[in-house]
Structures are given as structure tokens and as C-alpha cells.
Structure 1
Amino acid sequence: MAAEPRELRQAAADWLAVADPRGKAAAVRAGIAAVGRVDPAAPVAAPSPLPGRPDRPRLVDPAQVPRRSPFTREGRAALLHAVAHIEFNAINLALDAVWRFPGLPEAYYRDWLRVAAEEALHFTLVDEHLATLGHAYGDFDAHDGLWTMAEKTAGDLTARMALVPRTLEARGLDATPPMQARLARAGDAQAVAILDVILRDEVGHVAIGNRWYRWCCTHEGLDPVAHYAVLSRRHGAPRLKPPFNLSARRAAGFDEDELAALPPA
């Protein structure tokens, strides 16, 4: 007899607690087809640990993470390790957005579960390429900025949508093309192709953040542009720095008022 499909939010919480990065990524990618109903009001057993993650990489202050050059094998491995760390954290962030916030439309939960599965694919692609350079996830130090913002916004869905997908993850839209250019000059065509996949999908992920941020603002009677500035100050969001990938940001749903509010070059 086939097992009954799992409730979506509890499945997300269970996957979030998985500490092994490869195991987490594989579970999410395989499990997304096996989840069934969504019960936005059902109690969910909180993940433990929260989040599940391995003992390595060692997490240090962002200022202690050195700059990485792609023009040596070791430097390229360190650069791609940083990408793998971002993608692993992005799995956790998407799963946390699913289980943590009750009472929302079903489309919200299915959106973020799809994001989790795509982030799991991204992690797997980078992790496999990292192995060809003689390294594995955990070999280099990393920082915890993404999850720190998740903790700051744990009690406020509007802030979570504003400051994780629309701020921290949107920075990837700006950073990826220059990174691809450097990797291309270093001769790593496979890494460039992987980043093509990541950039394509991240436009969609930021668009989902924009959609649900505006949904929250509409329900709360807030102006999205003005309230974003309030949330950024309240939660200590990092200052955005040019250059900006305006075409990708437009494709991700930022409007002209939001783009005009970005710091000038």
C-alpha cells in the first residue's frame, strides 16, 4: 500500500532539521513530489535542530572571510564553496518560510517549497563541481549572514519577505554576472554554466519574494517602498551597493520606484 502523502508544512519542517547538506538536498528534491495537502492552520512540530546543518564549515564574522580569486585552483574552489554555502542556506530559508508562518494561502506554501527544491538543485550542481576541484562543502570558512536575517525576521512575515528574498537573495542578481565573467576568464566554463542556471532560477525566487511582500503590504495597508525603508532600518539590513543588475531586477518584479530608490553609482 502506498504511503499517504505528507502534509506540506510538516514535511518542510522535517527537512529543515536534516543536518547533512547532501541528504537535505536529496530529500527535498525527491520529496517535493510526495507531499500532498496543505493545512495552513495545522500545528507543526518545530524543527530540531533549527536549522539542521553540519559541523563544518566553520562560521566566522563576514570580515574574516577572505576574498577569493578564481585564477588559482584553490581560489576557484573557495569561491565556489561560498556559492555552495549560499545555496545550502537558501534551502533552509525557503523551508523555514514554509513551516514557520501559518494561515496563508496555499499558493504561498507551494511557491516556497518549489524554491526549496530549486535551491537544492543549485547546491547539488555546485557541490558536484566543487568535488572536481578536490574539495567538499565544509572545507572553507563561511559566514552566517543569511540565517541571521532569518532569525531577525522570524516573527514578521512582511519583514522576512522584504529582507531575505528581496534584499539578500536579490544581491545575487547583481553579483552573479561579474562572477561569471571572472570564472570565464579563468577557463571554468562548467562553473559559468551552473551560474546560468542559478541566475535564471533566482530571478523567479526574487519575484516570489516580491509577490508575497506586496501581498503582505496590501493586507496591512502599507506602502511597499516606504515600508521597505522602515524594515531595513529596523532589522539592520545590509546597505545595498552598486552596480545593480537592473534588467534582472526588473524581470524579478521590482518596479521603477523601487529601482529609483537604489543607491546611485
Structure 2
Amino acid sequence: MFDLNHVYQALMTSDILGKQRQIEALYRAACDHALVIEGKPVKPIHNPPLPDAVTVKATSHLSRRGVGSKSGHQSMLHAIAHIEYNAINLGLDAVYRFRQMPMDYYVDWLRVAKEEAEHFQLITARMAALDCQYGDFPVHTGLWAMCVDTEHDVMARMALVPRVMEARGLDVTPKIQHKLASIGDMESVEMLNVIYQDEIGHVAIGSRWFKYCCQQRCLSPYRTFRTLLKYYLKNGMDTAFNRPARLQAGFDDMELALLDEAFGNESTTETKRMQ
């Protein structure tokens, strides 16, 4: 029998192979209704440990490299690997932290963590073929900040992490693929196709549980999402959306129009109809 203490152990290990094995066991347990949603009191986690080889720097101190150079090519894949490593822990934290949700919620987020670990392995295998490994470039910890900011409320977490952070990945992945294709790295392009399809599903899971939380609290998903975005994203957000992917992932045209309106972009046809 597994409980949330085991989820915490998986979250706090920096041994990626051990983490992956633990996640797979936890996912099987959740699917078999053998995961007990109990454990020691929830702890704040300001930054889960990274592998020893990984160096952390402030975002302002990270170099930008063009993808046309060998180091730039490696650096791009390294950045994606770091995003996926963080996404593993984000999935685990969603399970560990919020303890009053239906069992399907825990199955969903352990599946997300399992798939993110698979993505990490795909990317690091590709990096190895390009003479690079995780830790060869410095990283930042900004990706975890939204997790800390929303640790008090599952509804805010579902709104801001999958529906903003992961959804942003849907927007930028085609552009990254274009850059990789421009240097002939079609193997990485195909790898990102696999990841991209899974990420649509992950954002859809966030959409599902955000709307569930709104329904439980008798709140409008549209107004609530807009309010949360305005509160947490005071510097705004880029609304150059990949609309087809976002629609697949549980957004709708009215919601995307609300985002355009909220962050001051040129009004879309849908926004004009709402005014």
C-alpha cells in the first residue's frame, strides 16, 4: 500500500531513475485504488533538489545562444530537458499537496508525472547523441515559482500551472521545431511531436480539474480564470496563442478571447462580440 509520504519521497529525490521507478509504482497503485490519500502534514517545498551535476544561476545570468552553433543546439535541448524535469515534480506536487480531490485527480496527475519522466528520458537520450547531458548548462529555478505561489489552493494551481505554464509550451513548440528543422535536426523535431501531443493532454487535465473546482465552488470558470491571471501575472502574458492546440486542450474561443482582452492585445472577433 502506498500513501502520500511515498509521493513526497519521489518528489524530493534527485535520482531520476529512482524517481521514475517510484512514479511508475505510484501510478499503478493509484490505478488499482491502492494509493491512500493520507500522510504527514503537507510541507512547503521551495525548490525540489536537482541532480548534483546541475548548476543554478539567476535568469539574468544565463547566456543565450543561437541554435546554429553546436553549443546553441545543445543548450536548446538542455532547456527543454530542464522544463520536463520540473514538470515531473509539478505533477508530483499536485498529488502530494491537495488532499480533498476525487481519486481520478490523483490518477491523472501521476500519469502526467510518469509521462513527463518519459519525456525527460527521450530528451536526454537525444542530448547524449549530441554529446551533451543534463547539467552541462546552468539552469534557473523560475519554473517552480508559480508552484510555490499556488501552493495554498488547488483551483489556482490548476489555472496557473497547466493552463498557463504548460499551455505556453503548446504555443512555442512549433517555433522550436521550425528552428531545429532549419539545422536539419529532424530527429528532435519528431521527438517533440510525441511530447507535444502528450502536453495537449496534460493541459486538458488541468482544464478538467480547474473547471471541476469552479463547479464545486459555484464560480464562473471564465471570470475566475481571468481574475487569477490578473492577480498572478501582473506583468502580463504573451497571447500569441496556438489556438488549435489550446482548443484541443480544453480552452474555448470565448476563453481565448477573454485572455486577449485581459492582457491588452488587439481585439479578436470573439472579443468584439463580447463587448
TM-score, structure 1 length as denominator? Answer: 0.89
The equivalent of 2:119 in structure 1 is: 122
Deviation string 1:196-218 (CA, Å, 9 cap, x unpaired) is 11100000000000000011111
Which of 250, 255, 262 matches 2:259? 262
- Aligned pair count reads 259
The equivalent of 1:168 in structure 2 is: 165
Which of 209, 214, 223 matches 1:212? 209
The equivalent of 1:11 in structure 2 is: 6
Match of 1:176, SS state, is helix
Query: Cα gap change, 1:177/1:93 in structure 2, threshold over 3 Å: closer, same or farther?
Result: same
8 Å Cα contact 1:90/1:116 also seen in 2: yes
RMSD over aligned Cα atoms: 2.1
In the alignment, is residue 186 of structure 1 matched against residue 218 of structure 2? no
The equivalent of 2:91 in structure 1 is: 94
8 Å Cα contact 2:26/2:110 also seen in 1: no
Residue range with higher mean Cα deviation, 245-254 or 69-78:
69-78
Query: Cα gap change, 1:160/1:48 in structure 2, threshold over 3 Å: closer, same or farther?
Result: closer
Gaps of 5+ in 2: 267-275
The equivalent of 1:143 in structure 2 is: 140
In the alignment, is residue 107 of structure 1 matched against residue 104 of structure 2? yes
Give the drift of 1:258: 1.1
In the alignment, is residue 222 of structure 1 matched against residue 219 of structure 2? yes
8 Å Cα contact 2:226/2:259 also seen in 1: no
8 Å Cα contact 1:25/1:123 also seen in 2: no
Deviation string 1:63-92 (CA, Å, 9 cap, x unpaired) is 333333221221111000000000000000
Query: Cα gap change, 1:13/1:47 in structure 2, threshold over 3 Å: closer, same or farther?
Result: farther
Equivalent residues in 2 for 1:243-258, closer than 5 Å:
243-258=240-255
Q: Give the counterpart letter for 1:108 in structure 2.
A: Y
Query: Cα gap change, 1:14/1:87 in structure 2, threshold over 3 Å: closer, same or farther?
Result: same
Once residues 137 and 64 of structure 2 are traced to their aligned partners in structure 1, the CA distance between those partners, rounded to angstroms, is 12
What is the percentage of aligned positions where both structures have the same residue?
Answer: 42
In the alignment, is residue 28 of structure 1 matched against residue 26 of structure 2? no
Q: Give the counterpart letter for 2:18 in structure 1.
A: G
Deviation string 1:9-65 (CA, Å, 9 cap, x unpaired) is 33322210111234323442465335552333x224657976232244322333333
Residue range with higher mean Cα deviation, 137-146 or 232-241:
232-241
Gaps of 5+ in 1: none
Residue range with higher mean Cα deviation, 47-56 or 74-83:
47-56
Deviation string 1:142-189 (CA, Å, 9 cap, x unpaired) is 221221110111111111001100001100000000100110111111
Q: Give the counterpart letter for 1:15 in structure 2.
A: A
Q: Give the counterpart letter for 1:214 in structure 2.
A: K
